[in-house]
Structure 1
Amino acid sequence: MKQAFDCSALVKPGTFRGKTANEKGDDRVGYKAMDGFGAFYLADGATGIGLGAEAADAFIAALGDAEQYQYLTAESCCDLLRLVDEEVSVKLKCNGDTTGILIVTNGEDLWGASAGDSRGMLYKADGVVELTGWQVRKPRFGNGATPVGFKGKVKPGERLLLASDGLWDFAQSGVIGEIVRGAGSAEEIVHRLEQLVRSQNEDRLPDDLSIMMFIFG
């Protein structure tokens, strides 16, 4: 990549009525690197309708070969995710769905697409950009999602946060922002965000939690 970055990720299952829903939970994250660029992706399978974990796994699997990502634009990311939606739907016969975010960067520009209620936030010196702010929450991938694209510029020191609703629904955005801006490393930020959720929920995770943190160098 043109610019190095510090990165860290976390995926942990939530606890529901005192019991863990399943061993792995329904959230998935991943990163693929090629010369000159990288791609980040996150999926949060919908637990309530069944096959959430399978939907998230199918979303990740359907993204395909990382070599194609360098040729994508925000618009073609939407095209790719529409194909992903079809693949998830066929594989699960519309019996499971998932949120999804795909972000590609060359260290100076970033672009991508998403659907659902997981969020991608870019913290800049003069404010914060909610990259996924225009996304369509429902239907999700596997049930006819409508991906919405986005693009932006990144500079050294700026910070990119991807997270499922296991973070956003159980912690205040302002406090999240303070941690993202204040902590020194991506690993420290991820740890402190997990502890933030636990501190407000009797030291437990009330939902599956997935976090990806990147600090551009």
Structure 2
Amino acid sequence: MEKKNMIIIGVIVVVVIAIVAFVFAGGALNKNEVKTPFDTEFMSGKFVGNVEKVNTNESFLASFKDNEHNITYNLTTMDDSNSLMEIYQFQGVKGPDHRSYNGNDWNIYFGEAMPAVNNTTKQDTNQSMGIIICQSQKESQGYVIYAIFDLTKVNFTLNTFGDSYVKYIEPLLKSIDLKQSNNVPAIHEQFGISKDDFNKQMDLIHQVNAGNRSALQQQGQK
């Protein structure tokens, strides 16, 4: 009889472990189950948490803020997002890691930055911010998501293993629907320069990346 009871107890333990594993794997105990849907002219999806829209005057730029976790999301689109990522990498942004979600291929980049000095609020300029940039380039249109994290509120890491990516970015990317837009802005317009001047800057970056460091000196002498 005692042996039979031990078998029953063993079965119960196995079942309980299986249930717990299922619950954790399925995210049923995830504290960030609240989702905020959004819809722009070029992209729709769901943020994790309570996220509010921030008013902007640009048709192809949308900003959102998670006040609880102090995360800012900036969404934009342009004709050539690949060149934009080349510029960021030239400036020291890390990546990319490659992911595919919901039929979209994404390049994930990581970086840190110091906040802009604000003389009116006496902002602590020693506090850096974590940045994750997600980029997807279609045939004639690119899409970029900037997520800016307060390092005191979220476990930020320069990879896809920390809470910053796992809890907030990955669920967002899995929900994203990318839309084909009309009159997509050109990347050189977003930089406020002519197409020729932008192409010259890109050529300079390509030369330096190929090992021609003197190109920077020649540029500085002009």
- Normalised by the length of structure 1, the TM-score is 0.25
Structure exhibiting the larger radius of gyration computed from Cα positions: 2
Higher relative contact order (CA 8 A, sep 6+): 1
- Normalised by the length of structure 2, the TM-score is 0.25
